[in-house]
A and B are shown apart, each in its own frame.
Chain A
Amino acid sequence: MKSYLLPEFIIERNDYRCIRCEVCVRQCAFEVHRYDEEEDEVFADESKCVGCLRCVTLCPTNALVVRENPTRIPQNYNWTMDYLMDAYKQAETGGVLLTGMGCDRGYPIYWDHIVLDASQVTNPSIDPLREPMELRTYLGAKPDQLEIKSHKGKASLETRLTPQLKLETPILFSAISYGAISYNTCESLARAAHELGTYYNTGEGGLHKNLYKYGKNTICQVASGRFGVHADYLEVAAALEIKIGQGAKPGIGGHLPGEKVTAEISRTRMIPKGTDALSPAPHHDIYSIEDLAQLIYALKEATHWEKPVSVKIAAVHNSAAIASGIVRAGADIVALDGIRGGTGAAPTRIRDNVGIPIELALASVDTRLREEGIRNRASIVIAGGIRNSGDVIKAIALGADAVYLGTAALVAMGCHVCQKCYTGKCNWGIATQDPYLSKRLNPDIGTRRLVNMINGWSHEIKEMLGGMGINAIESLRGNRLRLRGVGLNQKELDILGIRHAGE
């Protein structure tokens, strides 16, 4: 059948600059570039280009430009080029459309409609370079009250505290499984979390034996497929997370194709080599909050009540009520993943149409837990769409205790968000198990890039806190008075619990 698909991108090669060095040819796993010896020319098959910009970035003479294909059908606000091409693709294959990364549709990004306050005249701002500034964050259930006893002039804490995670900055790395990403990427995340004094999350793919040494900085996930879950896995973790849902694909499970289940992954996930790793949509032992409580307490019991247990859900319409149930079921941390949260593979229509923006979910969950007087019983960690330190600080002022970075962390390591993770041909060596490609991420470089980015963000957060006259992130947490909305309607402002700028 003749394909009606048009190339998504156009590749322009500046012939004066091109030295025929063939770096582009060797770097493209999609086999776009081809050197023709007879003509001494490099040709490109643009129909295969995914726009990951690997060739552009590595070209030593800047000879390449990759840009969107300007060809369009007559202007049509209804039938955009994306929808037209998707329809052709399905007409040609009869399949479900797959994609990677987070939702790329134009839903409102509320971070861009929220602005921060700063001190002027009447309340002094603080210079973080001259005065101490505290970003340390503790995640876990906080007691309703503290009982302190004094004995011979010495005070001692009588209340038994529940286990806490200590973070040097309110940023963690999101759950991304070994399988979805390469071993080198996992190692980079683990080492960066260790260096930064924070945590990374294994995702549902188990934990490779070589990474057990970073256990003190690891949150181990227990998902519906229970891949790689065993006593040592639970024991080595700093915290455990029950994954109920994922922002990119709420309501559905996961599918790691058999081709990606290499020997190492098969060992880590405890499944036969080359078999599909299918995560069921629900946990088949969790059909109610009571069932969830059973698993939470089973995990706590299995780990001697020494580790906080988190429950991760996708942000959906009634997240607030669900979160309340999760807290009452005994979770120490509620993780919320918004519609812009990423994935290694998801059906396009689900990624782009299911779930709600994280800002609204966060505000409504925080409000609900406060109203019910149980906000102290669990920390809130949000994921899905944090792009910079501005988003982080706004999330904290809206009520989050910390944020998870998934896409942003991958971007720090080189990801260009081309959304082709599901092909397993990631040219940046991140979302692939091909040994030729996964070498491309040197974990020394990956770690350094992650640490640099988070250090940069932390400095910026300190600057913004100082500007508001605050010297500890604790003082901003849930302080929505330091936020104002710009260009939002009354309903949105009410849900976010913030006033409009100028008010």
Chain B
Amino acid sequence: MIRIYPREEYCIGCRLCEIHCIAQHSSSKDLIKAFKKERRPSKRVEVEEAGHVSFALQCRHCEEAPCVSACISGAMSKDEKTGVVTNDPQRCIGCWTCILVCPFGAVRRSAVEHKVVAKCDFCPDLEIPACVANCPNEALIMEEI
């Protein structure tokens, strides 16, 4: 199973993780087009900041994910092999229960799709998720557990 861990001591609060996350979840996957030409997708990672303390937070892909058990339509599921929690937009009905139960506030309403939530999906098209790959200070690391 893989997990993304933030290293608060090296997070510089630049928010490049958020920016690249947005581009990666856009239809063009291009920074300039995603921000200026398309409807901008929601970010799946957010930098929490207070003073000089900051870290990037995305879905923790919990062992016993409250969002999965709370999902009333079976859209939210946890992959047995990888442990990655994903949302199936075809099944999602936008009841927002997952948003309510997520203890990390890591599930959001999608800014692009109607009545669908957006959350970290570990960038299935990439070998290394966009936020990890583009952090300039290695404050996000991917680890096999």
Contact = CB atoms under 8 A, between A and B. Distances in A.
Given A19-B19, A19-B36, A442-B137, A61 B31 contact: yes
A439 B10 CA distance: 5
The bracket for how many chain B residues form the interface is: 20 to 34
B35 A26 contact: no
B15 A22 contact: yes
B78 interface: no
B10 A21 contact: no
Interface of B: 7, 9-16, 19-20, 31-32, 35-36, 51-52, 134, 136-139
Contact of B137 (A22, A60, A436, A440): A440
Contacts of B52: 434-436, 439
A60 B19 CA distance: 9
Nearest to B53: A435
Interface in A27-63: 27, 58, 60-61
The 10 closest A-B pairs by CB, nearest first: A19-B35, A436-B52, A435-B52, A442-B10, A21-B19, A442-B137, A440-B12, A23-B14, A61-B31, A442-B138
Given A61-B31, A439-B11, A442-B10, A23 B137 contact: no
A17 interface: yes
Nearest to B138: A442
B137 A439 contact: yes
Interface of A: 16-17, 19-23, 26-27, 58, 60-61, 429, 434-436, 439-440, 442, 444-445
A22 B16 CA distance: 9
Contacts of A58: 14, 16, 136
15 contacts: A19-B19, A19-B31, A23-B14, A23-B15, A26-B13, A27-B12, A58-B16, A60-B16, A60-B31, A434-B52, A436-B13, A439-B10, A439-B52, A440-B12, A445-B137
Contacts of B13: 26, 436
Nearest to B135: A442
Contacts of B139: 442
Contacts of A445: 137-138
A439 B134 CA distance: 17
Given A17-B32, A21-B35, A442-B139, A27 B19 contact: no
Contacts of B36: 19
Nearest to A435: B52
A20 B35 contact: yes
The CB with the most chain A CB atoms within 10 A, among B12, B13, B52, B139, is that of B12
A409 B138 CA distance: 20
Contact of A26 (B14, B31, B51, B138): B14
A23 B12 contact: no
Contact of A23 (B7, B9, B19, B51): B19
A27 B51 CA distance: 14
The CB with the most chain B CB atoms within 10 A, among A16, A20, A23, is that of A23
Given A439-B52, A440-B137, A442-B137, A19 B32 contact: yes
Contacts of A439: 9-12, 52, 137
A442 B138 CA distance: 7
Contacts of B11: 439
Given A20-B35, A21-B15, A436-B52, 8 more contacts: A16-B32, A19-B19, A23-B16, A26-B15, A61-B32, A439-B9, A442-B7, A444-B138
Contacts of B35: 19-21
A438 to B, nearest CB: 9
B9 to A, nearest CB: 7
A434 B51 CA distance: 11
Contacts of A436: 13, 51-52
